[in-house]
Amino acid sequence: MNAPVPRLTALAHGAGCGCKLAPSVLRELLASEPAAAPFADLIVGTETGDDAAVWRLDDKTAIVATTDFFMPMVDDPYDFGRIAATNALSDVYAMGGRPIFALAILGMPIDKMPTAMIREILRGGAAAAAGAGIPVAGGHSIDSPEPIYGLAVIGLVSPETLRRNCDARPGDALILTKPIGVGIYSAAIKKGALSDDGYREMLGFMTRLNVVGAELAKDEAVHAMTDVTGFGLLGHSLEMARGAGATLRLKLDDAPTLAEAESLVKAGFSTGASQRNWASYGDAVVLPEGLEDWRRRLLTDPQTSGGLLVACDAAAAPTLCARIREGGDPQARIVGSVEAGEPIVEVV
């Protein structure tokens, strides 16, 4: 008699980018890291918590390198592989680069999972990479207590079109390319509370490559970009504010959300990472007085394979937003602005 096939999400204590360490913990861990100053060609390191490292080869070409992996947030192994790979590829696009190859990172509890299930995870990751036009050229695997999968991705970018998270300018508008609420959906999945339509909606966004980042970076009106993942919309906005030394003002009612996110969060579905995120922001995030808790949990919700947060010239923002929508991100919206002031995020 064959043993029952386990639910992937039941094998992991966390889910997707909700597994990330809280922003405050990460800052503490990196506080003693050596400065990148002795390495003149390391043009992006750990200074501002950017999405990837960048090493200059010459005046026209730089290498973009990143790694991203996590535990499953869905039970279908093929879908898990696609989501994890798409999420890892996003870091390169967020820097304005294009990936050229990837290496797989695999940790599986081989005594609990059939090999066919693990092969499906790898197949899903390879499919996402193929969608980006690159191979998964190797990798590393270990036997681990919980399932882990992701990619190390190498890409190329021109130093002229490199876009960081710290170069937003006062007067810029902010565009978000995908809706938020993924962590709320993942919490519902664990308890069997997400509808089939909700699952298809979530999967569609999480497996959509942020390739638009490489195109936006060619536009001089685009000044800064980052992808919105485990720290939530507020956390990644705060990284941008701190890097730019400016205030980011987010318009609460303009942030796009997944269709069932509001009803689910009101019903109590959210992740532990959402609360950890909120505790990490401190006084650097200012919310409207009397804001309902469910709205705050939407803004702190950890995203997996989320959209890009783009800071651009305000006059160009409507045209850029329309272009992003036409390119396949129909919920892209202008969600705020960059103002001169303290490096904080203010929600209005």
* Coil vs helix vs strand at 232: helix
pLDDT of residue 190: 87
Asked if residue 88 has pLDDT above 90, the reply is yes
Question: How far is it, in rounded angstroms, from Cα 55 to Cα 249?
Answer: 32
Helix (H) or strand (E) holding 204: helix 196-206
Q: If pLDDT is split at 50, 70 and 90, which confidence band does 173 have?
A: very high
What pLDDT score was predicted for residue 269?
95
Provide the pairing of β-strand 172-176 with 53-56: unpaired
For CA atoms 272, 275, 280, 285, the dihedral sign is: positive
Nearest residue to 84 (alpha-carbon basis) of 123, 45, 115:
123
pLDDT band at 188 (very low <50, low <70, confident <90, very high): very high
Same fold, 8-157 and 172-347: no
Return the sign of the alpha-carbon dihedral for residues 187, 193, 196, 198.
negative
Provide the pLDDT confidence category of residue 131 given band limits of 50, 70 and 90: very high
Q: How many CB atoms lie within 10 A of CB 196?
A: 7
CA 269 to each of CA 23, 48, 182, 235: distance values in angstroms, whole numbers, following the listed order: 22, 32, 11, 20
CA–CA separation, 184 and 199 (whole Å): 12
Listed range (16-20, 55-59, 149-153, 321-325) with the worst mean pLDDT: 16-20
Q: Worst-scoring range by mean pLDDT, 1-10, 223-232, 261-270?
A: 1-10
Q: How far apart are CA 167 and CA 188, in angstroms?
A: 36
65's CB contacts (< 8 A; 6+ apart) are 52, 53, 54, 55, 152, 153, 154, 155
Query: What digits encode the pLDDT tens for the residues 54-86?
Result: 999 999 999 999 999 999 989 999 999 999 999
What's the rounded mean pLDDT across residues 132-154?
96
Question: C-alpha dihedral over 157, 162, 163, 166, to 10 degrees?
Answer: 130
Strand partners, 131: none
pLDDT at position 36: 56
List pLDDT tens digits, range 241-300. Answer: 999 999 999 999 999 999 999 999 999 999 988 999 999 998 999 999 999 999 999 999
Structure tokens at 195: 């509808």
Does the pLDDT of residue 1 top 50, yes or no? no
- Domain ranges, ordered by start, for the chain: 8-157, 172-347
Question: Is residue 48's pLDDT more than 70?
Answer: yes
Q: Are strands 247-250 and 345-347 parallel, antiparallel or unpaired?
A: parallel
pLDDT reported for residue 152 = 98
In this predicted model, which residue has the larger pLDDT, 7 or 315? 315
- The answer to which of 7-21, 224-238, 257-271 has the lowest mean pLDDT is 7-21
Q: What whole-number distance in Å separates Cα of residue 155 and Cα of residue 209?
A: 14
* Count of Cβ atoms closer than 10 Å to residue 138 Cβ: 10
* pLDDT reported for residue 49: 86
Short-list 117, 174, 126, CA closest to 308: 174
Q: How confident is the model at residue 149 (pLDDT cuts 50, 70, 90)?
A: very high
Residues 6+ apart with CB under 8 A from 195: 260
Q: In the CATH scheme, what is the code of domain 8-157?
A: 3.30.1330.10
Reported as a single tens digit per residue, the pLDDT across 293-328 is: 999 999 999 999 999 999 999 999 999 999 999 999
User: What phi and psi values does residue 176 have, to the nearest 5 degrees?
Assistant: -115, 130
Residues assigned a catalytic role: 17
107, 148 contact by CB (below 8 A): yes
The predicted structure's pLDDT at residue 21: 61
Q: What is the DSSP letter of 7?
A: P
Taking 80 as the threshold, does the pLDDT of residue 239 lie above it?
Answer: yes
* Residue 1 CB coordination number (10 Å): 3
- Look up the pTM and report it: 0.92
Q: Report the C-alpha gap between 151 and 10 in whole angstroms.
A: 22
Q: Write the DSSP assignment of 311-344 as a string of letters.
A: EEEGGGHHHHHHHHHHTT-TT-EEEEEEESSSS-
State the fold for domain 172-347: Phosphoribosyl-aminoimidazole Synthetase; Chain A, domain 2 (3.90.650)
